Amino acid sequence: MCESGVNQGQMKLSIAQVNQMLGMAQEWLEQLHHLCDHAHEGATSAHLAQVTVMLGEARERLDVATEDLGKGGHEHVKVELV
């Protein structure tokens, strides 16, 4: 499969599914962050907020990966059958 390329439609769908899963996790963490904040658990709240931001950054990278899919960038890649 990789020797002749990947099915771009399937790859985009798979990336979108991962993105949706991360989005759900991001929403849950945001809720936990607010709960900890209201409970005056500052350190835990701060850590959860940081993880929420990191998930947002990961999701942005998934969007970029989807946009770059099919553009190539493999000019220097050599596939050898073993």
pTM: 0.77
Residue type, 46: A
Query: DSSP states of 16-40 as a string?
Result: HHHHHHHHHHHHHHHHHHHHHHHTT
pLDDT(73) > 80: no
The rounded distance, in Å, linking the Cα atoms of 47 and 60 is 20
Q: How far is CA 35 from CA 3, 26, 78, in A?
A: 49, 14, 51
Higher pLDDT, 8 or 4: 8
Q: What is the mean pLDDT of the chain?
A: 88
Contact by Cβ (8 Å): 19, 63: yes
| Mean pLDDT value across residues 37-57 | 97
